[in-house]
Structure 1
Amino acid sequence: MNLIGCCFGATPCCHSAKGIAGQYKFGGMSGWCMALLGVAKLVLGLDSSLVKILDQFPVGVLWVLLLFAGIELAMCSMDVNSKEESVVMLICTLFHLLAQVQHLNFL
């Protein structure tokens, strides 16, 4: 969905925004990084031994990657200089949080 949507100017959705921020933070500067990661995940997902590999991956490393991706995404709030921009950012955050809560209600 993200691969097709980017051709029409869509922003990454779901976990892709964090993935892009994490890749950028660790040196992946081109658009091909996300495509390469998607192909790698597709190939690994078709293999039955993926669960065994993921079970061996240390959870602490995942927390560090998530921390740096979150910091990278939060850095955009440093560019907010006016009250109007702050209100827009707050409204977008509230809508995002409400959408997540509604998504959990359907589970």
Structure 2
Amino acid sequence: PKPSSASREAAEKVKTQPKQHKKRSLADTMLEIQRENFSALKEQRDAQMLIEMRKQIVEEAKAGIWTPDQARKRLVALEQGQKENQPPAAKRQKTVPVCSYSPDWDSDFLDTDEEL
């Protein structure tokens, strides 16, 4: 049997309609807002830290700790996100359980066959 023209039209109409996305709940909306706020705060904090590090390098250069050329190199490295003269991050050591040894036994105690 051939499908009717009405059913074909209905099927084509359904195919052409965009899928309706599931409605977002209030919790989903709040989570997205929170993520956006955290990322904005992180960007702001990173920018503030960069400004403070620039100021520190300039003050160190004025104090004579760095030559102007060294200070420029440090500023360029800072802009590129490289941290010069920084020790590598310390690796965490694996925690080993502390073993306690058994106490020394009295030799007299070991020689006796008495029941306890």
> Fold conserved (TM > 0.5)?
no
Q: TM-score range by the shorter chain?
A: under 0.3
Larger Rg: 2
Q: TM-score, normalising length from structure 2? A: 0.24
Query: TM-score, structure 1 length as denominator?
Result: 0.25
- Normalized per residue, the structure richer in helix is 1
